[in-house]
Amino acid sequence: MDKSELDAKTKCRRKFVGMAVATVLAPSLLVGCHEKEEENVSTNEDLMREHGLLKRVMLSYDEVIRRIGAELDFPPQVVSDGATIIRTFVEDYHEKLEEEHLFPRFRKAGKLVDLVDTLYAQHQAGRRVTDRILATSKSPKTREDRAHLAADLHAFNRMYAPHEAREDTILFPELHKIISSHEYDSLGEQFEKIERQTFGGDGFDIYLDKVTTLEKQLGIYDLAQFTPQ
């Protein structure tokens, strides 16, 4: 799907946020958008594609860990840019959605409470690791600085790979069982609204561009390079 198709879908999605808006659209436009309305981003899809962005920053972290281990250079800016994406998009937005809108619903329903407690504690631990990464990445001058940075990047990835996998496979699917389909749909709309308020537009698209830039700077953007011979 090219960018123009994506833009058209996004625009249609937004046009259908309220019926009041839909009623003023020309009938032909309504028909065109109606087909695409089926492709609305649901609550879980929204959260899971945000995990996709988290995963791509983690892959950038992996590349930096590899370079530190091999005593190769890397632009320190890439690490602080990656950690800033984690801070603003993952910790202050995505995790906030989970903490304010998902975790309380699971606690209220008495479902997966131990898992929710662990996920919440991991969000706090992740923030502490990101603080350290942001501080060290400013100027990792000595070999010791680079070793500390690699250890923190590794600690981050070691925790978040299972964290996001557990949310994708256990927590998010269970959401369908503890809330009605109506509440599930309105939660998705609420997430869309918060996203626009937080980022002044489609936060996912904005951060997808940022993550793509990181990957290009590290030479890991070309997907085909990872295909085994």
Q: By the criterion CB under 5 A, which residues form the site for Fe ion?
A: 98, 119, 167
Q: How far is the CB of 224 from Fe ion (least distance, A)?
A: 29
Nearer to Fe ion, 119 or 218 (CB): 119
Of the two residues 77 and 169, which places its CB atom closer to Fe ion in the complex? 169
Nearer to Fe ion, 61 or 74 (CB): 61
Q: How far is the CB of 104 from Fe ion (least distance, A)?
A: 14
Q: Tell me how far apart the alpha carbons of residues 74 and 215 are, in angstroms, rounded to a whole number.
A: 12
Min dist CB 171 to Fe ion, Å, is: 8
Query: Among residues 16 and 172, whose Cβ is nearest to Fe ion?
Result: 172
Q: Nearer to Fe ion by C-beta: 116 or 179?
A: 116
Q: How far is the CB of 217 from Fe ion (least distance, A)?
A: 25
Residue whose pair of structure tokens reads 């609420």 in the numeric block: 190
Task: Please tell me the distance from the alpha carbon of residue 192 to that of residue 186, in angstroms, as a whole number.
Answer: 10
**How many other CB atoms are there within 10 angstroms of residue 177's CB atom?**
8
Which amino acid is present at 135? A
DSSP code per residue over 139-197: ---SHHHHHHHHHHHHHHHHHHHHHHHHIIIIIHHHHHHHS-HHHHHHHHHHHHHHHHH
Contact 203, 93 (CB under 8 A): yes
Rounded to a whole number of angstroms, the minimum distance from the CB of residue 89 to Fe ion is: 11
As measured in angstroms, the least distance from the Cβ of 41 to Fe ion is 15
Q: Which is nearer to Fe ion, 101 or 154 (CB)?
A: 101
* Kind and range of the H or E run holding 10: helix 3-15
d(CA 209, CA 219) in angstroms, rounded, equals 15
DSSP 70: T
- Tell me how many degrees the CA angle 66-77-85 measures, rounded to the nearest 5: 90
